[in-house]
Amino acid sequence: MQRSFYEHLISTEAIPPLPASAARLLTLATDPDVDIDRLVEVIEQDPPLVAKVLGIANSAFYSPRTPVLTVKEAIVRVLGLRMVANLSFGLAIGGGLDTSACPSFDLTRYWVLALGTADMAAGLARATTLTPKPDDAATYLVGLLHNVGELLLVHLRPGDMDRLLREDASQPGARVVELERQWFGTDHWAAGALLMRHWQLPAVVADTIEHFDNAADLADCSTMLHLVRAARAWIEGAVTGRSDDLHVSGVDDSYCEYRTTSFLENYVALKALAASL
């Protein structure tokens, strides 16, 4: 009997292994006391990753006063230690999932949503008065990886996902996750959570992704999920031209206004950055 796609997905032979560079970065990305020299050493073992980190640090989105020439400069002068650890890990993961055989998948849009959500959610985590107050670096990592299930589905079933995305584009008001459930018996939230657990990431990453599409009230979800979900919803609205005011429970409205204004001012630069990844 032919296995369902979901059965195929949960089988270990279907899930790609964690890329070697990502495996080396995983411990560093989840270590609050990560050593800068060790992080630089690991990143510099992967020349394409070095190029991406330097490209991000030198991008118009971050606008350094003088060119950044080394990974260590990128950490010290522009991005910060834990952000580079998390960002490098997320980039290494993305590099291990091939989307080239699915022309309808917009990889630039994927990275705009990933990077934009991560940046916005981390800021909200720093500003929130809710308790327990989530760690902003961990929130950045979760925001960066929240939509990784899209990459996995496209990697595993590029032809089907290409047809699905074209059908979604032809149906105004349709939701991709509903089509995924109809076609595959699962969706990219479940797929992303499965991948994070298979690669043994911290439980908070998989748990947040798994419950991302749950219409739960704040009382029923974690503070981190609440903030990442709010960031993603606003970023997605801005990307599609619906930049309404952002109001997030537990975050001052003046801060929300500042962050959204900043995002809109830098959106062109973010899109250019995402297109380069």
pLDDT of residue 1 exceeding 80, the answer is no
> Residue 43: which of 87, 11, 79 has the closest Cα?
87
How far is the C-alpha of 140 from the C-alpha of 129, rounded, in Å?
18
pLDDT for the residue 51: 96
Of the candidate ranges 102-116, 188-202, 218-232, the one whose mean pLDDT is the lowest: 218-232
- Segments making up each domain of the chain, as ranges: 17-96, 98-277
Q: Could you count the other beta carbons within 10 Å of the beta carbon of residue 261?
A: 12
pLDDT tens for 174-185 read 689 999 999 999
Convert the chain into a string of H (helix), E (strand) and C (coil). Answer: CCCCHHHHHHCCCCCCCCCHHHHHHHHHHCCCCCCHHHHHHHHCCCHHHHHHHHHHHCCCCCCCCCCCCCHHHHHHHHHCHHHHHHHHHHHHHHHCCCCCCCCCCCHHHHHHHHHHHHHHHHHHHHHCCCCCCCCHHHHHHHHHHCCHHHHHHHHHCHHHHHHHHHHHHCCCCCCHHHHHHHHHCCCHHHHHHHHHHHCCCCHHHHHHHHCCCCCCCHHHCCHHHHHHHHHHHHHHHHHCCCCCCCCCCCCCHHHHHHHHHHHHHHHHHHHHHHHCC
How far is the C-alpha of 231 from the C-alpha of 157, rounded, in Å?
29
pLDDT for the residue 171: 82
How far is the C-alpha of 243 from the C-alpha of 235, rounded, in Å?
8
pLDDT for the residue 3: 64
Residue 219 pLDDT grade (very low, low, confident, very high; cuts 50, 70, 90)? very low
pLDDT for the residue 221: 61
pLDDT for the residue 242: 82
- The percent of residues above 90 in pLDDT, for the chain, comes to 83
pLDDT for the residue 176: 92
Residue 104 pLDDT grade (very low, low, confident, very high; cuts 50, 70, 90)? very high
- Average pLDDT of span 188-207: 93
Is residue 73 a contact partner of residue 64, using CB atoms and an 8 Å limit?
Answer: no
pLDDT tens for 52-70 read 999 999 999 999 999 999 9
pLDDT for the residue 44: 96
Its pTM stands at 0.93
pLDDT for the residue 216: 55
The CATH number corresponding to 98-277 among 3.30.420.280, 1.10.3210.10, 3.90.550.10, 1.20.1070.10 equals 1.10.3210.10
> Residue 205: which of 62, 89, 105 has the closest Cα?
89
- Average pLDDT of span 89-113: 95
Cα distances (angstroms) measured from residue 207 to each of 62, 189, 191 = 31, 10, 12
Of the candidate ranges 6-15, 77-86, 191-200, the one whose mean pLDDT is the lowest: 6-15
pLDDT tens for 125-176 read 999 999 989 999 999 999 999 999 999 999 999 999 999 999 999 987 668 9
Angle between helices 136-145 and 107-127 (to 10 degrees): 160
